[in-house]
A and B are shown apart, each in its own frame.
Chain A
Amino acid sequence: MPMEFINKKLNKSTKLILTLLLVLACIILTYMLDKGIIGTSYTVRIVRIAVIYSLIGVSMNLVNGFTGVFSLGQAGFMAIGAYCVGIFTIPVDARANVYYLEPISDKIAGFVLPFGVALLMGGLLAALFAALIGAPILKLKSDYLAIATLGFSEIIRAVIANEQMWPITNGSLGLKSIPGFTTLFAPVLISAAGITLMVLLINSSYGRAFKAIREDETAAESMGINLFKHKELSFVVSAFFAGIGGGLLATHLTAIDSNQFKIAVTYELLLIIVLGGLGSVTGTVISAFMISFGKEYLRFFDAAQSIGGWQIPIFRPGLRMVIFSLLLMAVVLFWRRGLMGRKEFSWDGIYNFFRKWPWRFKKLMRGDYKTEAKTKRKSIAAGKAIDSAASKSKRAGRKADKTADREKKKEVKADAE
């Protein structure tokens, strides 16, 4: 089969160099954005939101995409982190101004924490709450987790806005004068560190156990994996980083109130992970950037637009969110794997992707770009590969046929996509 495409691998040192170059490029880009060499302060704002949403998106994907447990509490955990950072980092002299309706509680009035400590505390508090919700529910069918976490995030909002909490949270007035970021490096580095830690976790033996649970709970349990322990672990780690993300968001916005953590935020995050691919970290990051930039640049949808004096009737407030919810539906219905499926970015992947283009082109030139012929050949090849592998037990005949059949179906499906 001269036309069969063979994936090649790059050698390790090349990959290392490429990775270092990529990291360097990111650092330089961050530096240039930070110093205003490229982009405007507007771009910097969007990049900041995008990196924060990448972190929170990956944290959500850890539970939903990698462990297969449906959790919808991200907005609540973010609120905990955000309020932790908000309450404890507002400078003492600014507090009277913020808590003007009801003065801040005496116990915390003079208590200011450094940003890092407050951030960490927010993460830990979110993780603690996650552990408490997860304990009764993750032992049961995890279906209920979706509803319990959704309820939890609404409760958090209710508690924050409640009268008794005013001396601490300032209720519905929200918090302002939160010291903002002085450099773009802070959110970028913190998010990168968080994502890296989660990637390391996913690639560790524990992460493999998560994936096993996602694939088949019964089989995972019979392989000695404690379902509750691992689901709870994944859920708590996810909440921790959602809390950290919320804290970053508070610092980014400098003013927060409980309405910023409505369930719609969780739904937007769901859109990010579904679009990026449930079970792909790089997919999530890419889609977090796409959605963050998209949301900003599509703002014109919400404003009245007119062509030559004629007002186009569909452009009015709310259209943007309708489009995003339609996008979520469209991805789930027609493009379930999203951008990346369960794949991750790899240099080999990129390398082969570009190698494939001339190959595809050549094939097109030969004129045998017929779907049927192609799938047939591919499936025979696939069957053969398995055959040769099974040569030790020789008689794979009928079985291999079956597999080839299945392969063929898969190929057809893949082609149809």
Chain B
Amino acid sequence: MDASTFFQNCVTGISLGSAYALIAIGYTMVYGILRLINFAHGDIFMMAGYFTIFAIVDFHMPWYIAIIFVIIATVLLGVAIERAAYKPLRESPRMSIMISAIGVSFLLENSATYLFSGLPRAFPELGFLQKVYHIGDISAPIVTFITPVVTIVILIALIYLVNHTKTGMAMRAASKDFEAAKLMGIEINHIITITFVIGCSLAAISAILYFSPRPMVYPFSGLMPGLKCFVAAVIGGIGNIPGAVVGGFIIGIAETFLVASFPSLSGYSDAFTFVLLIIMLLFRPTGLLGEKIAEKV
């Protein structure tokens, strides 16, 4: 691998990793507060992809309005899911709510197949995002360069939100001890809604950035990114926002380089993520940045 290919892969890997990081934040925040693996998150991401297609292709919106539309639509979808499928089960056993999450995932995939047909739909051009840009030997669409910047800005904003605002404090309290937070007068449902709003808007942004350099969206295109990003969240330390970003970058970069270095193994690039998960759980089950939580007896 010569230097320019190496840098080319670096750019691609970082860009992919940034998109993963945005999805992983959604997983990690929801898990942190509800202890729920939100299986539907990947499908919400897929739906955001479809929303973009509708906005640009069907409604002929300009790209800047389309982005806002997509974010709002995705957030509404996510919050509606939380209200309808997770909120009624808050007092139920954990397994019930996870099954409900799977039900939502299954429903979104099947509804997408039913409503938009199982055939892939081409992803439209979003303004300047797909213009190819050259830096030295490296050439890539602008979106590839923008993605990491967007991710870092969002990460900084989120860290500020979590550590320096009242809402953030309430979030941290809820993730430490759900019941105690409730007793302390924290509006837990309010906090959960905010969490879903943040998670879903990030999923929407990520969908735009992720699908832009890719040709199409189909009803199952959220499945694998979804699973991978949960793994990314686990690798970074579940419940930890910077951890999710680190995990996303690791998976994105590792995946890009694996495919680039061993083209014959490209079929296993998905498998690789799960091997990484198992290795991580063997050697550092709390994740790279996670803390150990002692269970109370």
Contact = CB atoms under 8 A, between A and B. Distances in A.
A154 B270 CA distance: 8
B162 interface: no
B281 A140 contact: yes
Interface string A306-339: 0000000000111101101110110011001000
B110 A325 contact: yes
A316 B114 CA distance: 7
B29 to A, nearest CB: 16
Given A264-B106, A333-B89, A159 B277 contact: no
Contact of B110 (A147, A154, A321): A321
A326 B98 contact: no
B271 A264 contact: no
Interface in A260-283: 263-264, 267, 270, 274, 278
Interface in B252-273: 264, 267-268, 270-271, 273
A270 B110 contact: no
B118 A325 contact: no
B133 interface: no
Interface stretch (A160-168, A202-210, A362-370): A160-168
B109 to A, nearest CB: 7
A147 B227 contact: yes
A263 B109 CA distance: 11
A11 to B, nearest CB: 37
Interface string B73-112: 0000000000001001100100110111011111101110
B224 interface: yes
A158 interface: yes
A38 B295 CA distance: 58
When A and B form their complex, which 6 residue pairs have the shortest distance between CB atoms, in order from nearest? A318-B114, A162-B267, A151-B274, A325-B107, A155-B271, A329-B103
What bracket does the count of chain A residues touching chain B fall in? 35 or more
A316 B113 CA distance: 10
Nearest to A327: B103
A270 B107 CA distance: 13
B278 A148 contact: yes
Given A148-B274, A158-B267, A325 B106 contact: yes
Contacts of A133: 278
Contacts of B115: 318
8 contacts: A136-B282, A143-B35, A143-B37, A148-B278, A154-B224, A158-B270, A322-B107, A333-B85
B149 to A, nearest CB: 30
A218 B96 CA distance: 20
Name the residue in A146, A152, A332 with the highest tally of chain B Cβ atoms < 10 Å from its Cβ.
Answer: A332
A332 B273 contact: no
Interface string B214-258: 000000000110010011001000000000000000000000000
B184 interface: no
Contacts of B103: 325, 328-329, 332
A181 interface: no
A321 B100 contact: no
A319 B114 contact: yes
Contacts of B98: 70, 146
Interface in B53-84: none
A353 interface: no
A104 to B, nearest CB: 19
B3 interface: no
B124 interface: no
A278 B95 contact: yes
Given A218-B295, A329-B103, 13 more contacts: A68-B95, A133-B278, A154-B224, A154-B270, A158-B268, A164-B264, A263-B223, A264-B106, A267-B105, A317-B118, A328-B102, A328-B106, A329-B107
Given A329-B85, A332-B99, A147 B37 contact: yes
Contacts of A61: none
Interface in B271-287: 271, 273-274, 277-278, 281-282, 285
Contacts of B118: 317-318
B153 interface: no
B1 interface: no
Given A140-B285, A147-B277, A152-B274, A318 B227 contact: no
Nearest to A274: B99
B294 interface: no
Contact of A326 (B107, B273, B282): B107
B225 to A, nearest CB: 12
A144 interface: yes
A137 B281 contact: yes
Nearest to A222: B297
A280 B203 CA distance: 38
Interface in B110-143: 110-111, 113-115, 117-118
A138 B89 CA distance: 25
A137 B37 CA distance: 16
A267 B102 contact: yes
A162 B277 contact: no
Contacts of A158: 267-268, 270-271
A400 to B, nearest CB: 26
A332 B105 CA distance: 14
Contact of A136 (B85, B107, B267, B281): B281
